[in-house]
Amino acid sequence: MAGITVSAFVLTFIRRVDSFKNAFVKFNISQSIGDVVVLTVFAVHAAPMTYFPDTKFLKISLLNHLLGQFCAIAYVACIYTHLMIALNRFTAIAFPLKNRLIFTPRNSNLILLAVWMLSALQAIIYSFPTCSFYYSLPNYGFIYAPTHCGYIVKFIYDFCQFIFIIIIVGIIDSATIYKIHKAFANVSLSSDDQRRRAYREARLFLQAFLQDSVFLTGLVSFMIISTFMHTPWQIFFTTTFAWEMVHAVDGVITIACNPELSAVLLHPCASGRKVVTVRSEGTSIKRIGAASHYL
């Protein structure tokens, strides 16, 4: 529930720290939606099914398999959106003019539509009984069907694809940080400017490193480490718990590494304020300032 609250906060209040037409914000909203979907399925289905195993409604096989598909769709959408955020951030720094042409409001909407449609299409394979993905009560977690197809889907269709995307995201984020550092290398700045620049670079690096590490750790735990576990609780902590923590911590990292969003968290009911647009790291960022109301 704590993870749902954090992700819902990001989803609700991120509009206060940037224009809703901004691609970066739209992508973060998409990622937060994915986080909320996964965590909600765990909260309203997996947890009750574990604590109340005799509830007939929760044991309906079709419902269980459908919710497994929803979780898979949301997770894949999070991974793809994570890639789009990295690409948007890199082009904003390296090619700011092209960034404005590529990530227009219309194009951003089309990109997100493609992300979720592709995620849904990718989850069709889970509709086949021998390739399904569902919550297993004996294992206290979502598992792939114990079949040859389930094995192929788990390690080839999902694991290899997700590892590849996470590595690409890491490379893009590293290139972004390098571009930022290089852009300021030959610029004469005051002490205050240097401190602010160093802080921005450190914050960007920290957010990229933490989010990449969290997704990679969760993926390895779910796909690899869990196969060496034997007891239900061991499987639970390396699958269900690890997966939940990925989506819960993702929202925490977003808040912690974005001062503008943290400011809204500290003053969620503030009045007599508005959000002021400033330029930072090639993207528009809105900060709270004095005015009559929030925009």
Distance (Å, rounded) from C-alpha 63 to C-alpha 46? 11
**234-257 pLDDT per residue, tens:** 888 888 888 888 888 877 787 777
Distance (Å, rounded) from C-alpha 52 to C-alpha 47? 8
Which of 72, 260, 46 has the alpha carbon at shortest distance from 162? 72
Q: Does residue 274 register a pLDDT over 90?
A: no
**127-176 pLDDT per residue, tens:** 898 999 988 888 788 889 999 999 999 988 889 999 999 899 989 988 88
Distance (Å, rounded) from C-alpha 129 to C-alpha 108? 35
What domains appear along the chain, each with residue ranges and CATH number? 2-270 (1.20.1070.10)
Token code pair at residue 294:
């929030």
Listed in sequence order, the residues at least 6 apart from 4 whose beta carbon sits closer than 8 Å to its beta carbon are 36, 39, 40, 43
Average confidence (pLDDT) over 59-79: 86
Q: Could you tell me the pTM of the whole model? A: 0.77
* SS3 state at 141: strand
Per-residue b or e along 123-159, where b marks 16 or more CB atoms closer than 10 Å to that residue's CB: bebbeeeebbbbbbeebbbbbbbeeebbeebbeebbb
190: burial class by Cβ within 10 Å (0-12, 13-18, 19+)?
exposed
Which of 233, 254, 78, 245 has the alpha carbon at shortest distance from 140? 233
Question: How far from chain centre, in Å, is Cα 288?
Answer: 25
Which of 1, 149, 137 has the alpha carbon at shortest distance from 68? 137
Tell me, what's the pLDDT at 29? Answer: 82
Task: Answer with the residue of higher pLDDT: 57 or 15.
Answer: 57
Angle, helix 61-94 to helix 161-185, in steps of 10 degrees: 20
